[in-house]
Chains A and B, each alone.
Chain A
Amino acid sequence: MKFAVLVFPGSNCDIDCYKAVEEVLGEPVDYVWHTATDLSAYDCILVPGGFSYGDYLRCGAISRFAPVMAEVAKAAEQGKYVLGICNGFQILTEAGLLPGTLLRNTSLKFLCHDVVLRVENNDNPFTVDYEQGEEITIPIAHGEGNYYCDEATLESLKANNQIIFTYASNPNGSLSNIAGISNERGNVVGMMPHPERAVNTLLGSEDGKRMFTSILKAWRDQHDAATIR
C-alpha cells in the first residue's frame, strides 16, 4: 500500500506523518509537492498539519486551489483514502471534500496539549482497529479548530454516522464536541487532533498508532480478496 504526504509551503507536520507511516506500517511513503498533478500511484493521501500558504485570508483557503487538490478530489472520488489532519482538515473543508468549516477557538487561545477523544464510529477505514466508544489520548495543536456547520448539515452528519471522533471535554467550542468527521462515503476523514504525534510512548501516547494500522487493514480487506499472495 502506497502513501502520499502532501507538502504545501508552510506544512509543518509532513515529516511527522511520513515518520508515522514509516514507523508504524513500514509501507512505502512519498512526500508530494503541492504542484503535483498526478496522485494515481497512491492508495492513501495524507494532508498534514501546518500553516499552508501562511493561512493567509483563511486557514486552507489558498491551498485549496493548489494544483494537487484537483488530484485529491479525483482520488476521493475513486474511493481512495484521504486523511486531513489539523490544517489538512481545514483544507479539505475549504475544498468541499468535507462539510462545514473550522472557526477560531472560542477561547481565542492556541491550544497545544493532549485531549481525550471518543471513537464515535469504528466502522470506517481509519478507525477499524479501535473499539466503538473507546477513549483515546491524542494531542491537539491549533488556534482554529472550532468545528462549525449549519443545523441541516449536523443532522445529516449524525444520520450518516459521519462523526468519527468527539472530544470528551470540548477544548475549542466545536459543535457537538466534534473532533473529526468523514464524508458520506467514509473514505475522506478530517480531524483536528494529531494521531501522527501519538505513535510512540516516547511521545506521550501511542493511541494514534491504530489509525495507521486501521488504514492498512481496511485497504488489505478491500484489496486482498482479489489478490493471491
Chain B
Amino acid sequence: MLKAKVYVTIKQSVLDPQGVAVQGALHSMGFGEVESARIGKYMELTLDTTDRAEAEARVKTMCEKLLANTVVEDYRFELEG
C-alpha cells in the first residue's frame, strides 16, 4: 500500500480571489505580517501497489488528466509507505 499526498495550487501568475479574501480577514484580525495567502487543494490517494516508480508515473498522469487543471494550477505530490 502506498499513500499519495497531492497538493494542487493556483499558479503564482493567476489571481487567487479566495486567498486575497483570507489575507484580508487575517489582516483585519491583526495578523498584518501575512504578505499573501493562497488557497489550494489537498488530496490523499491510497494506492493498492508497492511499486513506487509505477505509482509515481500513474499519479503524475492522474494529476495531469484530472486532479489539476494545468492551465491555471500547479501540482506536486509525495508518496508514503
Whether chain B is bound by chain A comes out as yes
Interface stretch (choices A32-40, A101-109, A208-216): A101-109
| Interface hub of A93, A104, A108 (most chain B Cβ within 10 A) | A104
Chain A at the B interface: SS class: loop
Q: How distant is the Cα of A149 from the Cα of B71 in the complex, in angstroms?
A: 7
Question: How far is the CB of A229 from the nearest CB of chain B, in Å?
Answer: 45
- What is the number of residues of chain A that contact chain B, defined by CB distance less than 8 Å? 19
Q: How far is the CA of A62 from the CA of B72 in the complex (A)?
A: 17
Q: How large is the interface on B (under 10, 10 to 19, 20 to 34, 35 or more residues)?
A: 10 to 19
Contact pick for A148, options B18, B21, B72, CB 8 Å? B72
Residues of B near A103 (CB, < 8 A) are: 14-15, 17, 72
Taking the closest CB of chain B, its distance from the CB of A172, in whole angstroms, is 10
Residue A196 at the chain B interface, CB threshold 8 Å = no
A150 interfacial contact with B, CB 8 Å: yes
* CB-defined contacts of B17 to chain A, threshold 8 Å: 103-108, 173
Which of B21, B71, B72 is the one whose CB lies under 8 Å from A108?
B21
- Give the number of residue pairs across the A-B interface with Cβ within 8 Å: 34
Interface residues of A in 157-178 (CB under 8 A from B): 173
CA distance A32 to B2 in the complex (A): 40
**Considering the chains assembled together, what is the distance between the CA atoms of A58 and B63 in angstroms?**
13
Q: Decide if B15 touches A58 in the complex (CB within 8 Å).
A: no
CB distance from A127 to the nearest CB of B (A): 25
Q: Kindly list chain A residues whose C-beta atoms are within 8 Å of the C-beta of B71.
A: 93, 100-101, 148-150
Decide yes or no whether B46 CB sits under 8 A from chain A: no
Bound together, the chains give a CA A93 to CA B72 distance in angstroms of: 12
Chain B residues near A101 (CB, 8 Å)?
Answer: 69, 71-72
A195 to chain B, nearest CB (A): 25
> Is B66 an interface residue when CB atoms closer than 8 A count as contact?
yes
Please give the distance in Å from A192's CB to the nearest CB on chain B: 16
Contact A61 B66 (CB under 8 A): yes
A49 nearest CB across to chain B (Å): 19
**What is the CA–CA distance of A108 and B18 in the complex, to the nearest angstrom?**
7
Q: Give chain B interface residues in 29-72, CB to chain A under 8 Å.
A: 41, 66-67, 69, 71-72
Q: Which residues of B contact A94 (CB under 8 A)?
A: 69
List residues of B whose CB falls within 8 A of some A CB: 14-15, 17-18, 21, 41, 66-67, 69, 71-72
Closest 3 pairs (CB-CB, A-B): A101-B71, A106-B17, A104-B17
